[in-house]
A and B are shown apart, each in its own frame.
With several copies, the nearest count.
Chain A
Amino acid sequence: MQNKKSDTLEGAVSQIHDGATILIGGFADPGTPEILIDGLRDLARRDLTIVINNPGMRDSGVARLIEDGCVSKLICSFQWPRESETFMALHDAGQIGLEIVPQGTLAERMRTAGAGLGGFLTPTAVGTALADGKQTVTVDGTEYLLETPLRGDFALIKAFRADPRGNLIYRRTARNFNPIMAMAADFTIAEVQEDVPIDALDPEEIVTPGVFVDRYHVTGWYEIGKPRNAGSAGH
Protein backbone atom coordinates (compact mmCIF):
# COMPACT_ATOMS: atom_id res chain seq x y z
CA MET A 1 0.00 0.00 0.00
CA GLN A 2 1.20 3.51 -0.76
CA ASN A 3 2.32 5.39 2.29
CA LYS A 4 0.44 8.66 2.30
CA LYS A 5 1.71 9.69 5.70
CA SER A 6 4.38 12.34 5.83
CA ASP A 7 6.38 12.33 9.04
CA THR A 8 7.64 15.84 8.49
CA LEU A 9 5.71 18.99 7.81
CA GLU A 10 8.22 19.96 5.16
CA GLY A 11 7.72 16.66 3.36
CA ALA A 12 3.98 17.19 3.38
CA VAL A 13 4.05 20.50 1.55
CA SER A 14 7.35 20.58 -0.33
CA GLN A 15 5.82 19.92 -3.75
CA ILE A 16 3.96 23.23 -3.69
CA HIS A 17 5.49 25.46 -6.32
CA ASP A 18 5.55 29.14 -7.20
CA GLY A 19 2.41 30.18 -9.04
CA ALA A 20 0.29 27.38 -7.64
CA THR A 21 -3.43 27.68 -6.95
CA ILE A 22 -4.03 26.42 -3.43
CA LEU A 23 -7.40 25.63 -1.88
CA ILE A 24 -7.28 26.10 1.89
CA GLY A 25 -10.03 24.62 4.05
CA GLY A 26 -11.85 26.04 7.02
CA PHE A 27 -14.73 28.31 7.85
CA ALA A 28 -13.25 30.87 10.21
CA ASP A 29 -10.92 28.97 12.54
CA PRO A 30 -12.41 25.45 12.66
CA GLY A 31 -11.04 23.26 9.93
CA THR A 32 -8.31 25.67 8.91
CA PRO A 33 -5.05 23.72 8.51
CA GLU A 34 -2.86 26.15 10.38
CA ILE A 35 0.09 23.79 10.69
CA LEU A 36 0.17 23.17 6.95
CA ILE A 37 -0.10 26.91 6.39
CA ASP A 38 2.92 27.30 8.67
CA GLY A 39 4.73 24.82 6.45
CA LEU A 40 3.67 26.69 3.34
CA ARG A 41 4.97 29.96 4.79
CA ASP A 42 8.33 28.33 5.46
CA LEU A 43 8.57 27.50 1.76
CA ALA A 44 8.31 31.20 0.89
CA ARG A 45 6.72 30.49 -2.48
CA ARG A 46 5.64 33.41 -4.63
CA ASP A 47 2.72 34.28 -6.88
CA LEU A 48 0.27 31.97 -5.13
CA THR A 49 -3.47 32.06 -5.77
CA ILE A 50 -5.21 31.26 -2.50
CA VAL A 51 -8.81 30.06 -2.36
CA ILE A 52 -10.18 30.29 1.17
CA ASN A 53 -13.52 31.37 2.55
CA ASN A 54 -12.24 33.62 5.34
CA PRO A 55 -8.75 34.74 4.43
CA GLY A 56 -8.00 37.39 6.92
CA MET A 57 -8.68 35.99 10.37
CA ARG A 58 -6.37 37.74 12.77
CA ASP A 59 -4.64 34.63 14.05
CA SER A 60 -4.49 32.73 10.81
CA GLY A 61 -1.34 32.01 8.90
CA VAL A 62 -3.09 33.12 5.72
CA ALA A 63 -2.86 36.71 6.94
CA ARG A 64 0.84 36.08 7.50
CA LEU A 65 1.21 34.55 4.01
CA ILE A 66 -0.23 37.74 2.58
CA GLU A 67 2.08 39.87 4.72
CA ASP A 68 5.02 37.79 3.52
CA GLY A 69 4.15 38.74 -0.06
CA CYS A 70 3.53 35.16 -1.17
CA VAL A 71 0.02 35.76 -2.51
CA SER A 72 -0.82 37.37 -5.82
CA LYS A 73 -4.55 36.62 -5.80
CA LEU A 74 -7.25 35.79 -3.29
CA ILE A 75 -10.53 34.04 -4.09
CA CYS A 76 -12.95 34.12 -1.17
CA SER A 77 -16.36 35.12 0.10
CA PHE A 78 -15.34 37.12 3.20
CA GLN A 79 -12.41 39.26 2.17
CA TRP A 80 -12.77 42.31 4.28
CA PRO A 81 -12.10 41.48 7.90
CA ARG A 82 -11.29 44.41 10.09
CA GLU A 83 -7.89 43.04 11.01
CA SER A 84 -6.63 42.66 7.48
CA GLU A 85 -4.77 45.93 7.04
CA THR A 86 -1.96 44.33 5.07
CA PHE A 87 -4.34 42.84 2.56
CA MET A 88 -6.20 46.11 2.17
CA ALA A 89 -3.00 48.06 1.63
CA LEU A 90 -1.73 45.58 -0.98
CA HIS A 91 -5.11 45.53 -2.67
CA ASP A 92 -5.37 49.30 -2.80
CA ALA A 93 -1.87 49.38 -4.28
CA GLY A 94 -2.92 46.93 -6.99
CA GLN A 95 -0.44 44.34 -5.79
CA ILE A 96 -2.91 41.60 -5.00
CA GLY A 97 -5.90 40.41 -7.00
CA LEU A 98 -9.25 39.68 -5.47
CA GLU A 99 -12.18 37.61 -6.67
CA ILE A 100 -15.24 37.71 -4.46
CA VAL A 101 -17.48 34.65 -4.79
CA PRO A 102 -20.71 34.02 -2.88
CA GLN A 103 -20.04 31.28 -0.37
CA GLY A 104 -22.40 28.69 -1.81
CA THR A 105 -21.10 29.37 -5.30
CA LEU A 106 -17.54 29.07 -4.04
CA ALA A 107 -18.26 25.63 -2.59
CA GLU A 108 -20.18 24.53 -5.66
CA ARG A 109 -17.51 25.69 -8.08
CA MET A 110 -14.98 23.50 -6.32
CA ARG A 111 -17.35 20.56 -6.22
CA THR A 112 -17.97 21.02 -9.93
CA ALA A 113 -14.25 20.78 -10.57
CA GLY A 114 -14.02 17.68 -8.40
CA ALA A 115 -16.95 16.05 -10.14
CA GLY A 116 -15.48 16.54 -13.61
CA LEU A 117 -18.25 18.88 -14.71
CA GLY A 118 -17.85 21.96 -16.87
CA GLY A 119 -20.05 24.35 -14.96
CA PHE A 120 -23.42 24.89 -13.32
CA LEU A 121 -26.34 27.27 -13.36
CA THR A 122 -27.16 29.04 -10.13
CA PRO A 123 -29.79 31.57 -9.10
CA THR A 124 -27.33 33.05 -6.61
CA ALA A 125 -26.12 36.58 -7.43
CA VAL A 126 -28.34 37.06 -10.49
CA GLY A 127 -28.74 40.78 -11.04
CA THR A 128 -26.00 41.70 -8.58
CA ALA A 129 -22.59 43.27 -9.03
CA LEU A 130 -21.07 39.79 -8.69
CA ALA A 131 -22.83 38.77 -11.92
CA ASP A 132 -20.88 41.30 -13.96
CA GLY A 133 -19.25 39.67 -16.94
CA LYS A 134 -20.91 36.32 -16.34
CA GLN A 135 -23.07 34.52 -18.85
CA THR A 136 -26.74 34.13 -17.92
CA VAL A 137 -28.86 31.21 -19.06
CA THR A 138 -32.63 31.02 -18.76
CA VAL A 139 -34.14 27.61 -17.99
CA ASP A 140 -37.88 27.20 -17.63
CA GLY A 141 -38.32 30.94 -17.29
CA THR A 142 -35.79 31.37 -14.49
CA GLU A 143 -32.57 33.25 -15.02
CA TYR A 144 -29.35 31.66 -13.79
CA LEU A 145 -25.67 32.51 -13.84
CA LEU A 146 -23.31 30.08 -15.51
CA GLU A 147 -20.52 29.43 -13.03
CA THR A 148 -17.34 27.60 -13.94
CA PRO A 149 -15.23 25.01 -12.09
CA LEU A 150 -12.62 26.14 -9.60
CA ARG A 151 -9.77 23.68 -9.34
CA GLY A 152 -6.66 23.74 -7.19
CA ASP A 153 -3.19 22.51 -7.95
CA PHE A 154 -3.13 21.72 -4.25
CA ALA A 155 -5.59 21.56 -1.40
CA LEU A 156 -4.52 22.06 2.19
CA ILE A 157 -7.19 20.65 4.44
CA LYS A 158 -7.70 19.73 8.08
CA ALA A 159 -9.39 16.60 9.35
CA PHE A 160 -9.83 14.79 12.64
CA ARG A 161 -8.61 11.29 11.84
CA ALA A 162 -6.94 9.55 8.91
CA ASP A 163 -6.26 5.90 8.24
CA PRO A 164 -3.31 4.70 6.15
CA ARG A 165 -5.34 4.93 2.94
CA GLY A 166 -6.07 8.57 3.66
CA ASN A 167 -9.73 8.01 4.49
CA LEU A 168 -10.82 10.97 6.60
CA ILE A 169 -13.37 11.96 9.18
CA TYR A 170 -13.89 15.44 10.58
CA ARG A 171 -15.03 17.10 13.80
CA ARG A 172 -18.24 19.12 13.98
CA THR A 173 -18.21 22.40 12.06
CA ALA A 174 -14.54 21.87 11.22
CA ARG A 175 -15.84 19.75 8.34
CA ASN A 176 -17.04 22.73 6.23
CA PHE A 177 -15.08 23.18 2.98
CA ASN A 178 -12.53 20.45 3.62
CA PRO A 179 -14.25 17.47 1.95
CA ILE A 180 -15.06 19.59 -1.10
CA MET A 181 -11.56 20.95 -1.48
CA ALA A 182 -10.15 17.44 -1.16
CA MET A 183 -12.13 16.53 -4.28
CA ALA A 184 -11.18 19.61 -6.20
CA ALA A 185 -7.39 19.59 -6.18
CA ASP A 186 -4.81 17.72 -8.19
CA PHE A 187 -2.87 17.03 -4.99
CA THR A 188 -4.57 17.06 -1.59
CA ILE A 189 -2.61 17.38 1.62
CA ALA A 190 -4.40 16.88 4.93
CA GLU A 191 -3.30 17.74 8.41
CA VAL A 192 -5.00 15.41 10.87
CA GLN A 193 -5.22 15.40 14.60
CA GLU A 194 -4.68 11.65 14.81
CA ASP A 195 -3.97 8.73 12.56
CA VAL A 196 -5.54 5.36 13.19
CA PRO A 197 -4.82 1.85 11.90
CA ILE A 198 -6.44 0.46 8.81
CA ASP A 199 -10.03 -0.67 9.51
CA ALA A 200 -10.29 1.57 12.56
CA LEU A 201 -12.65 3.86 10.65
CA ASP A 202 -16.09 2.47 9.93
CA PRO A 203 -16.47 2.57 6.13
CA GLU A 204 -20.00 3.92 6.62
CA GLU A 205 -18.68 6.95 8.52
CA ILE A 206 -15.88 7.97 6.23
CA VAL A 207 -16.58 11.43 4.85
CA THR A 208 -13.63 11.77 2.50
CA PRO A 209 -12.51 8.54 0.83
CA GLY A 210 -8.77 8.18 0.58
CA VAL A 211 -8.96 8.40 -3.21
CA PHE A 212 -9.15 12.16 -2.71
CA VAL A 213 -6.16 12.37 -0.35
CA ASP A 214 -2.57 12.27 -1.55
CA ARG A 215 -0.69 12.94 1.68
CA TYR A 216 -1.39 13.53 5.35
CA HIS A 217 0.57 14.83 8.29
CA VAL A 218 -0.32 14.17 11.92
CA THR A 219 -0.32 17.28 14.08
CA GLY A 220 -1.99 16.29 17.32
CA TRP A 221 -4.58 18.55 18.88
CA TYR A 222 -3.75 22.20 19.14
CA GLU A 223 -5.62 25.20 20.35
CA ILE A 224 -6.74 27.42 17.54
CA GLY A 225 -5.26 30.88 17.64
CA LYS A 226 -2.54 30.01 20.12
CA PRO A 227 1.16 30.17 19.25
CA ARG A 228 2.38 26.84 17.94
CA ASN A 229 5.71 25.11 17.84
CA ALA A 230 4.95 22.44 15.32
CA GLY A 231 7.24 20.66 12.92
CA SER A 232 9.59 22.90 11.01
CA ALA A 233 7.35 25.94 11.38
CA GLY A 234 8.95 26.71 14.70
CA HIS A 235 7.26 29.90 15.77
Chain B
Amino acid sequence: MSEQTNLLTRQQIAARAAQDMEDGWLVNLGIGMPTMIPAFIPSGCDVMFHSENGLIGMGPPPAEGEADQDLISAGKELVTMVSGGAYVHHTDSFAIARGGRLDCAVLGAFQVAANGDLCNWRLPNQTSGSVGGAMDIAAGSKRVFVMMTHTARDGAAKIVAERTYPLTAMKVVTKIFTDMAVISVTPNGFVLDEVAPGLTADDVQAVTDAPLNMDAVGTIDVAA
Protein backbone atom coordinates (compact mmCIF):
# COMPACT_ATOMS: atom_id res chain seq x y z
CA MET B 1 0.00 0.00 0.00
CA SER B 2 1.21 3.50 -0.78
CA GLU B 3 2.01 6.21 1.71
CA GLN B 4 -0.67 7.31 4.12
CA THR B 5 -0.26 10.78 2.66
CA ASN B 6 -1.84 9.63 -0.57
CA LEU B 7 -5.17 9.20 1.15
CA LEU B 8 -7.71 11.86 0.31
CA THR B 9 -8.72 14.31 2.98
CA ARG B 10 -12.33 14.48 4.09
CA GLN B 11 -12.68 17.64 2.04
CA GLN B 12 -11.33 15.89 -1.02
CA ILE B 13 -13.76 13.00 -0.64
CA ALA B 14 -16.61 15.48 -0.28
CA ALA B 15 -15.42 17.38 -3.33
CA ARG B 16 -15.31 14.19 -5.37
CA ALA B 17 -18.78 13.10 -4.24
CA ALA B 18 -20.05 16.58 -5.08
CA GLN B 19 -18.97 16.03 -8.69
CA ASP B 20 -21.62 13.31 -8.96
CA MET B 21 -24.47 15.52 -7.80
CA GLU B 22 -26.57 16.43 -10.82
CA ASP B 23 -28.43 19.59 -11.64
CA GLY B 24 -32.00 19.43 -10.38
CA TRP B 25 -31.41 16.68 -7.82
CA LEU B 26 -32.96 16.45 -4.39
CA VAL B 27 -30.35 14.96 -2.05
CA ASN B 28 -30.34 13.75 1.53
CA LEU B 29 -27.08 13.92 3.41
CA GLY B 30 -26.29 11.66 6.33
CA ILE B 31 -24.64 12.88 9.51
CA GLY B 32 -20.89 13.51 9.43
CA MET B 33 -18.78 13.64 6.28
CA PRO B 34 -21.71 13.88 3.84
CA THR B 35 -22.64 17.25 5.31
CA MET B 36 -19.44 18.65 3.80
CA ILE B 37 -20.71 18.11 0.26
CA PRO B 38 -22.78 21.29 -0.24
CA ALA B 39 -19.72 23.51 -0.04
CA PHE B 40 -18.36 21.77 -3.15
CA ILE B 41 -21.43 21.97 -5.38
CA PRO B 42 -20.52 24.31 -8.23
CA SER B 43 -22.68 27.37 -8.60
CA GLY B 44 -25.02 26.82 -11.50
CA CYS B 45 -25.62 23.24 -10.44
CA ASP B 46 -28.95 23.39 -8.67
CA VAL B 47 -29.06 20.73 -5.98
CA MET B 48 -31.63 20.93 -3.21
CA PHE B 49 -30.90 19.28 0.11
CA HIS B 50 -33.53 17.42 2.11
CA SER B 51 -33.20 16.99 5.83
CA GLU B 52 -35.27 14.24 7.43
CA ASN B 53 -36.61 16.60 10.06
CA GLY B 54 -38.89 18.28 7.53
CA LEU B 55 -36.61 20.71 5.76
CA ILE B 56 -36.53 20.89 1.98
CA GLY B 57 -33.86 23.27 0.78
CA MET B 58 -31.31 23.09 3.57
CA GLY B 59 -28.72 25.83 3.33
CA PRO B 60 -25.34 26.48 4.96
CA PRO B 61 -24.84 27.34 8.63
CA PRO B 62 -26.21 30.75 9.59
CA ALA B 63 -24.09 33.85 9.62
CA GLU B 64 -23.06 35.19 13.00
CA GLY B 65 -26.11 36.40 14.88
CA GLU B 66 -28.60 34.94 12.41
CA ALA B 67 -29.10 31.53 13.95
CA ASP B 68 -32.65 30.38 14.67
CA GLN B 69 -32.96 27.71 17.31
CA ASP B 70 -35.92 26.23 15.42
CA LEU B 71 -33.94 25.65 12.22
CA ILE B 72 -31.62 22.67 12.45
CA SER B 73 -30.35 19.81 10.32
CA ALA B 74 -30.83 16.10 10.92
CA GLY B 75 -27.40 16.28 12.52
CA LYS B 76 -28.81 18.79 15.00
CA GLU B 77 -26.68 21.64 13.72
CA LEU B 78 -28.01 25.13 13.13
CA VAL B 79 -28.61 25.68 9.42
CA THR B 80 -30.46 27.99 7.04
CA MET B 81 -33.03 27.52 4.30
CA VAL B 82 -32.34 28.38 0.66
CA SER B 83 -34.72 30.26 -1.61
CA GLY B 84 -37.73 28.25 -2.60
CA GLY B 85 -37.51 25.80 0.27
CA ALA B 86 -40.43 24.42 2.25
CA TYR B 87 -41.16 22.90 5.64
CA VAL B 88 -43.08 19.65 5.97
CA HIS B 89 -43.98 17.45 8.90
CA HIS B 90 -42.29 14.16 9.61
CA THR B 91 -44.55 11.81 7.70
CA ASP B 92 -44.41 14.00 4.62
CA SER B 93 -40.64 14.21 5.00
CA PHE B 94 -40.41 10.42 5.04
CA ALA B 95 -42.97 10.13 2.26
CA ILE B 96 -40.43 12.07 0.20
CA ALA B 97 -37.63 9.74 1.29
CA ARG B 98 -39.46 6.43 1.05
CA GLY B 99 -41.50 7.46 -1.99
CA GLY B 100 -38.54 7.74 -4.32
CA ARG B 101 -38.34 11.53 -4.51
CA LEU B 102 -34.75 11.61 -3.28
CA ASP B 103 -32.49 11.44 -6.30
CA CYS B 104 -29.68 10.51 -4.00
CA ALA B 105 -28.83 9.88 -0.37
CA VAL B 106 -25.21 10.16 0.74
CA LEU B 107 -24.61 8.15 3.88
CA GLY B 108 -21.76 6.91 5.99
CA ALA B 109 -21.23 3.18 6.43
CA PHE B 110 -19.53 0.54 8.55
CA GLN B 111 -19.73 -2.01 5.74
CA VAL B 112 -20.86 -2.20 2.13
CA ALA B 113 -21.30 -5.61 0.49
CA ALA B 114 -20.85 -6.52 -3.17
CA ASN B 115 -24.62 -6.87 -3.60
CA GLY B 116 -25.15 -3.32 -2.33
CA ASP B 117 -26.12 -4.26 1.22
CA LEU B 118 -25.60 -1.30 3.53
CA CYS B 119 -24.58 -1.60 7.17
CA ASN B 120 -24.40 1.67 9.03
CA TRP B 121 -26.58 1.69 12.09
CA ARG B 122 -25.10 -0.67 14.60
CA LEU B 123 -21.81 -2.37 15.34
CA PRO B 124 -21.97 -6.13 15.80
CA ASN B 125 -20.69 -5.97 19.34
CA GLN B 126 -23.25 -3.41 20.49
CA THR B 127 -26.51 -4.54 22.00
CA SER B 128 -28.24 -1.69 20.27
CA GLY B 129 -27.65 1.21 17.92
CA SER B 130 -29.38 4.42 16.97
CA VAL B 131 -31.22 3.76 13.75
CA GLY B 132 -32.75 7.20 13.20
CA GLY B 133 -33.97 7.62 9.64
CA ALA B 134 -31.22 5.58 7.99
CA MET B 135 -33.31 2.54 7.14
CA ASP B 136 -36.12 4.56 5.60
CA ILE B 137 -33.84 6.79 3.59
CA ALA B 138 -31.64 3.96 2.39
CA ALA B 139 -34.65 1.87 1.38
CA GLY B 140 -36.38 4.67 -0.51
CA SER B 141 -33.75 6.76 -2.24
CA LYS B 142 -33.25 6.36 -5.99
CA ARG B 143 -29.50 6.11 -5.44
CA VAL B 144 -27.52 5.52 -2.29
CA PHE B 145 -23.97 6.84 -2.24
CA VAL B 146 -21.68 5.88 0.60
CA MET B 147 -18.95 8.21 1.78
CA MET B 148 -16.44 6.79 4.23
CA THR B 149 -12.85 5.93 4.96
CA HIS B 150 -11.86 2.93 2.90
CA THR B 151 -10.98 0.85 5.95
CA ALA B 152 -11.87 0.88 9.61
CA ARG B 153 -9.47 2.44 12.14
CA ASP B 154 -8.06 -0.98 12.90
CA GLY B 155 -7.39 -1.53 9.19
CA ALA B 156 -10.28 -3.93 8.66
CA ALA B 157 -11.94 -3.81 5.25
CA LYS B 158 -15.29 -2.03 5.08
CA ILE B 159 -15.92 -2.98 1.46
CA VAL B 160 -16.65 -6.69 1.57
CA ALA B 161 -17.97 -9.62 -0.42
CA GLU B 162 -20.70 -10.31 2.09
CA ARG B 163 -21.74 -8.26 5.06
CA THR B 164 -21.07 -9.43 8.59
CA TYR B 165 -22.50 -6.34 10.31
CA PRO B 166 -26.16 -5.72 11.12
CA LEU B 167 -28.06 -4.73 7.99
CA THR B 168 -29.50 -1.26 7.39
CA ALA B 169 -30.99 -1.91 3.94
CA MET B 170 -30.66 -4.64 1.34
CA LYS B 171 -29.07 -4.08 -2.07
CA VAL B 172 -29.27 -0.32 -2.08
CA VAL B 173 -25.74 1.12 -2.38
CA THR B 174 -24.95 2.28 -5.90
CA LYS B 175 -21.61 4.06 -5.44
CA ILE B 176 -18.87 4.41 -2.82
CA PHE B 177 -16.58 7.38 -2.27
CA THR B 178 -13.62 6.73 0.02
CA ASP B 179 -10.29 8.26 0.84
CA MET B 180 -8.75 5.85 -1.67
CA ALA B 181 -11.23 5.27 -4.45
CA VAL B 182 -14.54 5.65 -6.21
CA ILE B 183 -16.27 2.31 -6.60
CA SER B 184 -19.55 1.51 -8.33
CA VAL B 185 -21.82 -1.28 -7.14
CA THR B 186 -23.17 -3.17 -10.14
CA PRO B 187 -25.12 -6.38 -10.68
CA ASN B 188 -21.72 -7.99 -11.25
CA GLY B 189 -20.21 -6.64 -8.05
CA PHE B 190 -17.80 -3.82 -7.37
CA VAL B 191 -16.24 -1.83 -10.20
CA LEU B 192 -13.24 0.32 -9.39
CA ASP B 193 -13.90 3.57 -11.24
CA GLU B 194 -11.16 5.80 -9.89
CA VAL B 195 -8.25 5.77 -7.47
CA ALA B 196 -6.74 8.62 -5.52
CA PRO B 197 -3.67 10.25 -7.12
CA GLY B 198 -0.58 8.32 -6.13
CA LEU B 199 -2.45 5.07 -5.50
CA THR B 200 -2.74 2.07 -7.78
CA ALA B 201 -5.70 -0.19 -8.35
CA ASP B 202 -3.78 -2.92 -6.57
CA ASP B 203 -3.36 -0.68 -3.53
CA VAL B 204 -7.12 -0.39 -3.33
CA GLN B 205 -7.74 -4.08 -3.96
CA ALA B 206 -5.31 -4.94 -1.17
CA VAL B 207 -7.52 -3.32 1.46
CA THR B 208 -10.84 -4.42 -0.05
CA ASP B 209 -12.35 -7.79 0.92
CA ALA B 210 -14.13 -8.36 -2.37
CA PRO B 211 -12.97 -8.55 -5.95
CA LEU B 212 -12.88 -5.22 -7.78
CA ASN B 213 -13.40 -5.06 -11.50
CA MET B 214 -10.39 -3.01 -12.70
CA ASP B 215 -11.07 -2.88 -16.41
CA ALA B 216 -11.23 0.91 -16.61
CA VAL B 217 -9.71 2.71 -13.69
CA GLY B 218 -9.27 6.45 -13.75
CA THR B 219 -7.74 8.87 -11.28
CA ILE B 220 -9.81 11.01 -8.92
CA ASP B 221 -9.69 14.65 -9.91
CA VAL B 222 -8.69 16.48 -6.77
CA ALA B 223 -8.05 19.78 -8.50
CA ALA B 224 -11.72 20.71 -8.52
A119 on the B face (CB < 8 A):
no
Evaluate whether A173 and B98 lie within 8 angstroms (CB atoms) in the complex, with A77-B131, A127-B170, A180-B90 already known.
no
> Which size bracket describes the interface of A in this complex?
35 or more
**B42, chain A: closest CB distance, angstroms:** 14
Enumerate chain A residues within 8 angstroms of B94, measured Cβ to Cβ: 103-104, 107-108, 115
A167 on the B face (CB < 8 A):
yes
Closest A residue to B168 using CB positions? A128
B69 on the A face (CB < 8 A):
yes
Contact of A203 among B81, B134, B139, B140 (CB under 8 A): B81
Interface size on B, residues (CB 8 A): 58
Main SS at interface, chain A: loop
- Chain B binder among A11-19, A43-51, A207-215: A207-215
Closest B residue to A103 using CB positions? B133
A137 on the B face (CB < 8 A):
no
CB–CB B89/A167 < 8 A: no
Complexed CA–CA distance, A106 and B50 (Å): 19
Enumerate chain B residues within 8 angstroms of A31, measured Cβ to Cβ: 70
Q: Which of B92, B94, B96, B131 has the largest count of A CB atoms less than 10 A from its CB?
A: B131
Enumerate chain A residues within 8 angstroms of B52, measured Cβ to Cβ: 27, 103-104
B72 on the A face (CB < 8 A):
yes
Using CB atoms and an 8 Å cutoff, list the residues of chain B in contact with chain A.
23-24, 26, 46, 48, 50-57, 68-72, 74, 76, 81, 83-101, 122, 128-137, 139-140, 166-170
Using CB atoms and an 8 Å cutoff, list the residues of chain A in contact with chain B.
1-2, 27-31, 77-81, 98, 100-105, 107-108, 111, 113-117, 122-130, 163-165, 167, 170-180, 183, 198-199, 203-204, 206-207, 209-212, 223-224
